[in-house]
Amino acid sequence: MCKCTPEETILCNRAGLKTLPGEIAPSTISLNLSNNYLRSLNTNTFRNLTFLHNLWLDGNNLTFLTPGTFDALSRLQELHLSRNSRLTHLHANTFRGLLNLISLDLSHCNIFEIHPLLFSHLPSLERLDLASNNMRYVPQAFRNLSSLTSLSLEGNHIEAIGRDSLKDLETLYDLNLRKNRIWIIQNGAFAKLLRLGTLNLGHNFITDLPNQLFEGLTQLKTMHLEANRITAVDCTFRQLLNLRNLYLNNNQISSISDSAFLHLNKLHFLHLSRNNLSSLPARLLSELPGLRYVLLSHNPWRCDCSALWLWRSPHRALLQGLDCAFPGPANATAPEEPRPGHCPTPLPPAAEDHTEPQLKWLCIYPCKEVICLRKAPTPHHALKDQYLASDLHQANKDEEIECGTAGQQHQLQLGQCK
């Protein structure tokens, strides 16, 4: 049984209908026929409903839509056809007459191919949902969609994005390619998407990020690349000057270039959790003034002196999930300042700081800890019991070095600090 609430809105959802109910008022604006047993529609089905703005046909048993079915619905703005699992093919003239259609939902059907002219009758279309179908390539059917701002191809079987696959989507703002099988993306594939604000490539099979991959996406604000097979990040993002949110979590990343995020002055959120990162370049976050959140959990961090910059970084308070995997004293599992016994490896140059010396090496010996400093502006403020070691000066004639011991003083021997 259908309900009219108010008179221009008719609710026939879950009414067990196999055919359209008779005597629907011509003044009807919204008609909900979802979750019924409708199998076919023809040119007479909606002939008298010329005032219709919203039509729900989702969750039925539709197998075919006769060309001209929607001819009379020139005022229609929303059309919902999702979850018609027997709908595999659509005629080129299926949507003829829908000149004012703004939103079209064809998700969760079994469409495997789109006719190039299928959407050519939809000049006002802004939102198109083709998610969870059986398409193996990006359809070449977007040529006349001059108003389209949102496109979802999530959950299909697409393997490649060609250079011309998206060339006609110049007005697009939101592109969802999540949960496909994409492993090939040609350079220039996104070059025409000058207004794109959100790109979702998560849950695909992407392994490489060539430096020219995202050329043209100067307005992009959010990038999803989570759950792929990426192993390294170089300068792929350097042209994304308006990027605010970057998701690189759940990959296999073990290497990130120190200039990977250079010029991303608006980057606000960076997700690097669940990768294979053991360290990060010391300069990686140094020029990101807009950064507010960095997620780093579930990585095999190496907690030695190469990570010292993370503890001294002005971004330290923003780093979340930096779990220490180094078996230091008391089997520490939380990040902490390296202590004697932690740092057998060379330290990287620290960030500029005029109140403390720059650590060059932290050398561990059986009897003492020797700290060597290069060009320390105020070394006596940093370490107790500092003194010049003439034998070390002799061994390092090419640069000026001061060395001291932490704790009790010991005689420094030539070659102890290299």
CATH number for the domain including 298?
3.80.10.10
* CA–CA distance, 399 with 374 (Å, rounded to integer): 8
> Residue 109 above 80 pLDDT?
yes
Q: 3-class DSSP state for residue 382?
A: helix
In this prediction, residue 143 carries a pLDDT of: 87
> Residue 418 above 60 pLDDT?
no
- Please indicate, yes or no, whether residues 188 and 301 belong to a single structural domain of this protein: yes
* Among candidate residues 323, 345, 367, the one where a domain is terminated: 345
Given its phi and psi angles, is residue 188 left (phi above 0), alpha (psi -120 to 50 degrees) or beta?
left
- Please indicate, yes or no, whether residues 188 and 128 belong to a single structural domain of this protein: no
Task: Report the candidate in 16, 14, 64 with the shortest Cα–Cα distance to residue 39.
Answer: 64
- Please indicate, yes or no, whether residues 26 and 91 belong to a single structural domain of this protein: yes
In this prediction, residue 232 carries a pLDDT of: 98
pTM across the whole model: 0.79
Residue 416 inside a domain? The answer is: no
* Domain count for the chain: 3
- Please indicate, yes or no, whether residues 328 and 378 belong to a single structural domain of this protein: no
* CA–CA distance, 168 with 141 (Å, rounded to integer): 9
In this prediction, residue 326 carries a pLDDT of: 45
Residue 112 inside a domain? The answer is: yes
Residue 255 inside a domain? The answer is: yes
> Residue 348 above 80 pLDDT?
no
In 10 A of CB 125, how many CB atoms?
26
Half-sphere exposure (CA, 13 Å, Cβ side) for 56? Answer: 14
> Residue 380 above 50 pLDDT?
no
* Among candidate residues 105, 134, 157, the one where a domain is terminated: 157
- Please indicate, yes or no, whether residues 180 and 309 belong to a single structural domain of this protein: yes
Least confident of 131-135, 203-207, 372-376, 380-384: 380-384
- Please indicate, yes or no, whether residues 38 and 85 belong to a single structural domain of this protein: yes
Domain range for 94: 1-157
- Please indicate, yes or no, whether residues 278 and 337 belong to a single structural domain of this protein: yes
Q: Mean pLDDT across the stretch 144-161?
A: 97
* Among candidate residues 134, 157, 180, the one where a domain is terminated: 157
Task: Give residues with Cβ within 8 angstroms of 116, minimum separation 6.
Answer: 92, 139, 140, 141, 143
Residue 224 inside a domain? The answer is: yes
The distance of Cα 291 from the centroid of its chain, to the nearest Å, equals 16
Phi, psi of 366 (to 5 degrees): -55, -35
> Residue 370 above 60 pLDDT?
no
Residue 351 inside a domain? The answer is: no
Distances (CA, A) of 125 to 95, 98, 223: 11, 9, 24
- Please indicate, yes or no, whether residues 131 and 178 belong to a single structural domain of this protein: no
- Please indicate, yes or no, whether residues 28 and 126 belong to a single structural domain of this protein: yes
Q: Dig out the tokens for 118 from the structure.
A: 């299928």
Which has more pLDDT, 285 or 176?
Answer: 176
Residue 353 inside a domain? The answer is: no
In this prediction, residue 331 carries a pLDDT of: 52
- Of 16-30, 39-53, 146-160, which one has max mean pLDDT? 146-160
Computed from CA positions of residues 211, 214, 219, 222, in that sequence, does the dihedral angle turn out positive or negative? negative
